[in-house]
Structure 1
Amino acid sequence: MIVTLTITKFRGITIPFAFMGMAILRIPLGLNKRCRFWKLMGSGKDAQVDQAPDYKHWAVLTTWDNRKDYDAFHQNSFVMKWFSLFGTESFTILLNPLSSHGLWSKKEPFKVTYSNQIHTGKIAVITRAAIRFNKLKEFRQNIKRAAVAMRNAPGFILSAGIGENPFFDQATFSIWENAESMKAYAYKSFDHADVIKLTRERKWYREELFARFGIVESWGTLNGISINNTNE
């Protein structure tokens, strides 16, 4: 399986077309029988999870059986042409699922072919949560310190906050130098570990997912940072 994520920054004057695309682009994505799973999503300011929406950054996540199917979509689809036409900056990454636990919209989106494979080098992570309405205030009060700790953690490369809506369905995408640095943040960072503890105790989420990926290829920039990469 190939998992792809494109994050595009729209020009200020074209933001109405970004909102329009979130409705229109559902049709070609839904009709594409080769696309196994897809999500159109917004983001916070500078594409960060702990920031209020600025309505400039938008994302599309898709999954495919193979690279050939994605390449055809990337080159020819109305969806990617829409993002390209109105975007001023774009970042795309292709991922190979290494492990995945949990659900996204009641589905298991990432098929792991070799769950016991040994992976070295850079690693990407997607954590996604559907937040309970009555827990939103607590979640927002605590998520910022975990996000700040992540951006300051050794081995951290990049992060982006994405989600189907800016308040209740949120995901964090991050890239790390290796699995060890990612695990050190996840399990040894006080702020992150404390937030995870509160998540369990206070039952903030009605649905959640955690997935790790090897990086197949990436290109483009996010917030002016070039992160071109070929890892496999």
Structure 2
Amino acid sequence: MEVVSLSFFRFDGGFARIWAFAQMGFARLSLPNTPDIGVWKLCGTGTGEGFTPLPNTGVYAILATWPSLEVARERVAGAVTYRRYRAHAAQDWTLFMAATSVRGQWGGRVPFVVSADPAPGPLAALTRATVRPSRALRFWNRVPDISRVIGADANVAFKIGIGEVPLLHQVTFSIWPDTASMAAFARTDGPHARAIAAVRAGDWFSEELYARFRILGEAGNWGQTSPLNALRPLELNETLHRE
């Protein structure tokens, strides 16, 4: 079963932040040499909850695919690049997932293999888009309203905006207690629904990807706790393997 890991690292202090920013270049040399790694992406984040065009110099992310959960845990815990990031980071949190649906492409290819069936309970959603430069201003004018709605939704256990290239390559990642709550947010009339309609009508994106994941486990912490604690305990105990 292919497993997707998404690791977040928070850096405090000027030196640590400069080091992390430099890794957006240097880690591209070491990360591909990690044994068993498949697709990998180095990403920065936006300020606030990440859904802004202004970069957050304190939070970075590594996304990668692995042949199994065991291998994913082992490599994230012990591979050189991950150990270097943790050595400089004030905190880190990794989520391990298996894709249940994938539609679209990332960099001209389908990045994830569907390797799990949808199941009741918590799920993660990832959307990735390449914004056409001519549409970037209109896109970012919509984002603050969407961000406020997401932040006010009590069902969202975790949400963040990340990206490879500021302004043009954007990824949104969120965790929901179930598919019903996620669908309700996506379909309810409001800033998000209107933005989606505008995207379709105006052809704002040159490439899109939509993926959903079953949550398999986690490692580390974020804000001295686990974001998954916001999910219902019964569902969490049934689906989650923590290390």
Q: Considering the TM-score relative to the shorter chain, is it more than 0.5?
A: yes
Q: Deviations over 1:29-56 (max 9, x none)?
A: 2223521100000001245123621211
| Number of residue pairs aligned between Structure 1 and Structure 2 | 230
Higher deviation after alignment, 215-224 or 96-105: 215-224
CA contact (8 A) 2:4 2:97 kept: yes
CA contact (8 A) 1:125 1:212 kept: yes
Alignment of 1:97-136 (within 5 A): 97-114=99-116, 117-136=117-136
Letter of the structure 2 residue corresponding to residue 76 of structure 1: G
Cross-structure match for 2:162: 162
> Which TM-score applies when normalising by structure 1?
0.92
CA contact (8 A) 2:157 2:228 kept: no
Partner of 2:233: none
Report Cα offsets for 1:101-120 as digits up to 9, x if no partner. 01111111110034xx3411
More strand by share: 1
Aligned to 2:174: 174
Distance 1:206 1:224 in 2: 39
1:69-92 alpha-carbon deviations (Å, 9 max, x no partner) = 212312221111111011112121
Instruction: Give the Cα–Cα distance (whole angstroms) in 2 for the partners of residues 44 and 221 of structure 1.
Output: 20
Q: Can you give the 5+ residue segments of structure 1 that lack an aligned partner in the other structure?
A: none
> Contact (CA 8 Å) 1:219, 1:228: kept in 2 or not?
no
Q: Secondary structure in 2 aligned to 1:212?
A: strand
Change (3 A) 1:56 1:64: same
Residues 1:3 and 2:4 are matched in the alignment: yes
Within 5 Å, which residues of 2 pair with 1:187-226? Answer: 187-223=187-223, 226=226
Kindly state the Cα deviation for residue 202 of structure 1 after the two structures are TM-superposed.
1.2
TM-score scaled by length of structure 2: 0.88
1:146-173 Cα shifts (integer Å, max 9, x gaps): 1211222242111011110221111011
CA contact (8 A) 1:46 1:223 kept: no
Q: Return structure 1 stretches of 4+ with deviation > 6 angstroms.
A: none
Which residue in the other structure is 2:232 paired with? none
Q: Which runs of 5+ in 2 are unaligned?
A: 230-235
Q: Does 1:143 align with 2:138?
A: no
SS in structure 1 at match of 2:153 = coil
Residues 1:225 and 1:51: Cα distance change in structure 2 (over 3 Å): farther
**C-alpha RMSD of the superposition:** 1.7
CA distance in structure 1 between the partners assigned to 2:49 and 2:7 by the alignment: 12
Q: Which amino acid aligns with 2:9?
A: T
Identity %: 27
The secondary structure found in structure 2 opposite 1:35 is: coil
